[in-house]
């Protein structure tokens, strides 16, 4: 008796067909995500509560208009399998999780294919939707009241996502938190298609809010061609150092030797300055946004790069391009973090040199050690110098932007290559590893800067940390270690010393002593130097360097810049 109802249900041919179709669909999905986890996204069981219900809804809705025959189940499942395959192939080639807007740029992946392979690729893309259309009962006989709930539910879901993106994203983010710095992690937690919808809700919510943003003219952020015409064409090098800590500033820590390279220490002495980062312990994309776009990272819409749509943003690389510069990005990772695949072109980087696994076919790349993106600084600098020499040979001014990755948490050290270890009292394992890295990193930085000045003696060079490295107890650990307690510059910012990072500026080979900036001041400071002071004479409101607290007008400048950056455009 207990299982009698199950037996009766199974004997009903109609229900048996439904159970078989949906059971096989779920089993195929499980098999796919488990097998794909070896080469694509990892599978987490949380996907069962988000991705699987969404897939079942899509599967049911796709079946509703189809003729009732043996092809009904496969024809409805094939477009979903197609979406998964396109998603994972794009993830492998682009290193990023797609949103619906990204499907418009899929042809960019085929540029290097032969005509035969190009035809096969388009056939593979067109076949599943075509098969589904062939199976549609165009006379409407397959539709019934029983088949309507799934399409209606799906229509309601789509109406919420695209009609009310702000509320939808806030709700989804509250229930299924968005790993904003990495869409890959979000997709692993909650599923591929669920993340696609979440990303589009997020993007549309940004655009909805930014529609009301003030203009660049209204906020004083418009840089006219007349001002840029006064740029003296000197090369600019901006070196952003991952988790860089000037360990000399830990006044309550004692080291058994100089924690910085002795030659670097003797050269810099006390001439290094400080720059206030918007972030602490992570979120490098926020530091990049400030350094390159000249407005504070207020995080009103999440990490700012997430709002970029690929359109030209009024940021330093684009401004320098208008002044006749070439712009080059060097990064040992790839465009896989915080929407950088759209953000970097939108910022204005013409040449984007990534680590070898992320480089487009035939494009220049950074050679990695065993495919490890955390490439030691010296290895990255050596390859960047090759790029600098090539740029110099072309005879045009250029902007050289270098973003390092070595030194990222958990501060791994290859003891075979770096056997000497800096010891610390009182013992602190993380700081001991950081100090050891700093000894080798500053040696590499000193050698790089010497060679850079030698080959490009009139250049403007800015070296800055993205943020401080994270420690187990965060800000409290830095207070216990006496970070910046004896630094006179830091006295102007006593409550947020954990946001203050290393800053070194060279102007025509000479160290500019003890600069005090906020990260978003860097763009304006560079433009002022390149115009011999004319920039700040004409834009004094943008040149109150290091000033605290932040003026309210910066919020409107921030919104004006993001509104320009958020416009959708295919990456170039």
3-state secondary structure (DSSP) of residue 313:
coil
Q: Is residue 341 part of a domain?
A: no
For residues 30 and 86, membership in a common domain is answered with: yes
Pair (381, 505) in one structural domain = yes
Separation between Cα atoms, residue 525 and residue 516, nearest integer Å: 11
pLDDT on residue 111: 46
CATH number at residue 499: 3.40.720.10
The DSSP code sequence of 461-530 is EEEEESSPPP-TTTHHHHHHTTBTTT-TGGGG-TT-GGGEEEEEEEETTEE--S-EEETTHHHHHHHHHH
358 with 460, same domain: the answer is yes
The answer to whether residue 332 is domain-embedded is: no
The pair phi, psi for residue 399, each rounded to 5°, is -110, 115
**Cβ neighbours around 184 below 10 Å, total:** 19
Domain assignment present for residue 563? The answer is no
Instruction: Report d(CA 219, CA 318) in Å as an integer.
Output: 19
Do 31 and 135 lie in one domain? The reply is: yes
3-state secondary structure of 502: strand
Helices (H), 294-421: 316-322, 340-347, 377-394
Same domain, 366 and 513: yes
Q: How far apart are CA 179 and CA 171, in angstroms?
A: 15
Does one domain contain both 199 and 243?
no
pTM over 0.85: no
Residue 367 lies inside a defined structural domain of this protein: yes
CA proximity to 96, closest of 195, 183, 11: 183
Query: 258 and 194 in one domain?
Result: no
What token pair was written down for 253? 């820590």
Specify whether the CB–CB gap between 283 and 312 falls below 8 A. no
Residues 52 and 79 in one domain: yes
For residue 422, give its domain range.
Answer: 229-283+352-550
Distance of CA 210 to the CA centre of its chain: 20
Closest CA to 484 of 476, 494, 474: 494
Coil, helix or strand at residue 80: helix
Sign of torsion over alpha carbons 68, 70, 75, 77: positive
Give the per-residue pLDDT at 108. 47
- At 401 the pLDDT is 99
pLDDT value of position 106: 54
Number of domains in the chain: 2
Looking at residue 112, its pLDDT comes to: 46
Quick one: 267 and 398 in the same domain?
A: yes
Q: Quick check: is 530 in a domain?
A: yes
Phi, psi of 126 (to 5 degrees): -85, -25
CB 67, CB 135: distance < 8 Å: yes
Q: Are residues 139 and 244 in the same domain?
A: no
- Cα distance between residue 91 and residue 284, in whole Å: 22
Nearest to 333 by CA among 240, 420, 450: 240
For residue 240, the tally of other CB atoms under 10 A from its CB is 23
Residue pair 113/121 in contact (Cβ under 8 Å)? The answer is yes
Would 319 be classed as within a structural domain? no
Domain shared by 98 and 178, yes or no: yes
Residues listed for the chain? 572
pLDDT means per 10 residues, the chain with 572 residues, are 55 66 91 90 92 94 84 88 84 63 53 65 81 82 73 90 89 86 81 89 80 90 94 97 95 91 94 92 91 91 81 96 97 84 94 90 88 90 98 97 92 87 90 94 98 98 96 87 87 81 96 94 98 96 87 90 80 52
One domain, residues 122 and 262: no
Among 178, 210, 242, identify where a domain stops: 210
Q: Is residue 558 part of a domain?
A: no
In a domain, 95, yes or no: yes
């Amino acid at each position: 008796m207990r299982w009698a109802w199950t037996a009766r249900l199974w004997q009903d041919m109609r229900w048996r067909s439904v159970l078989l179709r949906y059971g096989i669909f779920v089993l195929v999905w499980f098999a796919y995500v488990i097998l794909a986890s070896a080469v694509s996204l990892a599978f987490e069981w949380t996907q069962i509560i988000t991705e699987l219900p969404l897939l079942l809804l899509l599967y049911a809705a796709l079946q509703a208009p189809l003729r009732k025959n043996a092809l009904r189940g496969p024809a409805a499942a094939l477009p979903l399998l197609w979406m998964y395959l396109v998603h994972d192939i794009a993830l492998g080639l682009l290193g990023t999780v797609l949103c619906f807007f990204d499907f418009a740029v899929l042809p960019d992946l085929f540029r290097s294919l032969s005509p035969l392979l190009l035809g096969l690729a388009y056939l593979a893309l067109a076949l599943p939707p075509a098969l589904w259309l062939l199976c549609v009962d165009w006379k409407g006989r397959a539709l019934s009241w029983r088949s309507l709930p799934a399409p209606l539910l799906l229509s309601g879901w789509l109406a919420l996502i695209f009609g009310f993106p702000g509320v939808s994203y806030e709700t989804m983010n509250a229930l299924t938190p968005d790993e904003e710095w990495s869409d890959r992690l979000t997709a692993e937690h909650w599923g591929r298609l669920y993340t696609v919808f979440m990303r589009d809700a997020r993007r549309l919510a940004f655009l909805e809010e930014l529609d009301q943003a003030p203009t660049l003219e209204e906020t004083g952020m418009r840089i006219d061609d007349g001002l840029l015409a006064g740029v003296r064409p000197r090369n600019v090098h901006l070196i952003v150092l991952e988790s860089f800590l000037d360990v000399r500033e830990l006044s309550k820590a004692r080291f058994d030797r100089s924690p910085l390279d002795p030659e670097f220490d003797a050269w810099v002495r006390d001439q290094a300055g400080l720059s206030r980062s918007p972030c602490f312990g992570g979120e490098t994309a926020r530091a990049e946004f400030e350094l390159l776009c000249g407005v504070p990272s207020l995080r009103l819409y999440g990490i700012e790069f997430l709002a970029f749509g690929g359109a030209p943003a009024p940021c330093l690389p684009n401004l320098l391009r208008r002044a006749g510069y070439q712009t080059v990005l060097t990064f040992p990772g790839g465009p896989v973090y915080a929407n950088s695949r759209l953000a970097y072109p939108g910022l204005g980087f013409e040449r984007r040199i990534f680590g070898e696994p992320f480089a487009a076919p035939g494009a220049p790349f950074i050679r990695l050690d065993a495919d490890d993106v955390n490439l030691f600084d010296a290895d990255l600098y050596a390859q960047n110098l090759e790029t600098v020499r090539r740029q110099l040979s072309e005879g045009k001014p250029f902007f050289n932007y270098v973003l390092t990755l070595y030194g990222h948490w958990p501060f791994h050290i290859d003891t075979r290559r770096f056997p000497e270890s800096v010891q610390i009292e009182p013992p602190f394992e993380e700081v001991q590893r950081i100090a050891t890295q700093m000894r080798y990193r500053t040696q590499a930085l000193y050698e790089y800067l010497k060679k850079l000045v030698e080959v490009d003696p009139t250049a403007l060079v800015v070296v800055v940390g993205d943020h401080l490295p994270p420690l187990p107890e965060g800000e409290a650990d830095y207070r216990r270690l006496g970070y910046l307690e004896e630094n006179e510059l830091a006295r102007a910012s006593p409550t947020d010393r954990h946001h203050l990072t290393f800053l070194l500026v060279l102007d025509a080979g000479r160290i500019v002593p003890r600069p005090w900036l906020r990260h978003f001041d860097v763009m304006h400071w560079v433009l002022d130097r390149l115009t011999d002071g004319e920039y700040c004479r004409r834009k004094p409101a943008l040149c109150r360097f290091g000033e605290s607290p932040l003026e309210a007008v910066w919020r409107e400048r921030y919104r004006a810049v993001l509104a320009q950056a958020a416009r959708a455009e295919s990456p170039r």
